[in-house]
Amino acid sequence: MKFDVLTLFPEMFEALNHSILKKAQENGIIEINPINIRDFSNNKHKKVDDYPYGGGAGMVMQAEPIFNAVDYIINRYGKKPYTIMMSPRGKRFEQSDAKRFLQKEHIVILCGHYEGIDERVLSIVDEEISIGDFVLTGGEIASMAIIDCISRLVPGVLPKEESYQDESFYDGLLEYPQYTRPEVFRGMKVPDVLLSGHHEKIRRWRKYQSLKITYERRPDLLNKKKLTKEEQDMLDEIIKSKEE
């Protein structure tokens, strides 16, 4: 899978050249290409911003360098890839979006900066995406989070499929508690069921704990998930125990 990232700060994406994503890039499973928008400015000083029409504080990114950069990508690959713009007005990114974007072989991510981007750029953007209701200096950090999330789902990036299928949000629930050695630490003991070796009991315990944590911390997620009969029975038991 290929990611082209249009940014004013390509050096920031060195952060993705580590750990799992580094190995995935070395193995040719994913490709991350930061593209400097300044390289496509027709201004001799590589200027890419200007004052906003109508007045106001700050500067606005110009449309021309961005259009030029997208034209470069289109000419290079022979077609326009699916294009995302990081924006606080965009749809909030969720795990389901990562699964959806996984179906795209090539994604372009546009990172905004300054006070915004010339609105005419939206004519070449397929989707605006946000990672939450807060403000960042630019779209780079947000785009890295999205690239990381999508990349983990690409076959071959993680050692086992189970590595991501058991993680929080993959099936719409928060993850169950995890433990490792030692069995007892400062008086705190690993739950007996995890030491039992009984796979079905462990599976049920983990499912119950996952539902319990989701109900307590993110009940909104339960409204989006279609529960199985087993899950519904467990949830009813959890709710009842809370009411007693």
Same domain, 102 and 204: no
78 annotated as ligand-binding: no
The pLDDT of residue 161: 58
Domain around 220: 171-243
Asked if residue 135 belongs to a known ligand binding site, the reply is: yes
Q: What does the pLDDT read at residue 57?
A: 87
pLDDT of residue 230: 98
* CB neighbour class for 147 (10 Å; exposed up to 12, middle 13-18, buried from 19): buried
Same domain, 42 and 89: yes
Query: Is residue 67 one of the residues assigned to a domain?
Result: yes
Verify that 34 and 115 share a domain, yes or no.
yes
> Using 50, 70 and 90 to split pLDDT, how confident is the model at 244?
confident
Cis peptide before 65 (omega within 30 of 0): no
| Domain co-membership, 8 together with 101 | yes
Q: How confident is the model at residue 125 (pLDDT cuts 50, 70, 90)?
A: very high
Q: What is the pLDDT of residues 182-203, one digit of tens each?
A: 999 999 999 999 999 999 999 9
The annotation status of 131 as a binding-site residue, yes or no, is: yes
Which two tokens mark 108? 């372009």
Is 178 found in the same domain as 146? Answer: no
**Contact by Cβ (8 Å): 20, 157:** yes
Q: Answer yes or no: is 139 a known binding residue.
A: no
Known binder of ligand: residue 125? no
The pLDDT value given to residue 169:
74
Domain identity same for 201 and 95: no
Q: Do residues 170 and 95 touch, judged by C-beta distance below 8 A? A: yes
Please check whether residues 23 and 122 belong to one and the same domain.
yes
Inter-residue contact 107 to 147 (CB < 8 Å): no
Q: Is 132 annotated as a binding residue?
A: yes
134 is in an annotated binding site: yes
CATH number at residue 178: 1.10.1270.20
Query: 106-110 and 82-92: which strand pairing?
Result: parallel
pLDDT cut 90: percent of the chain above it:
89
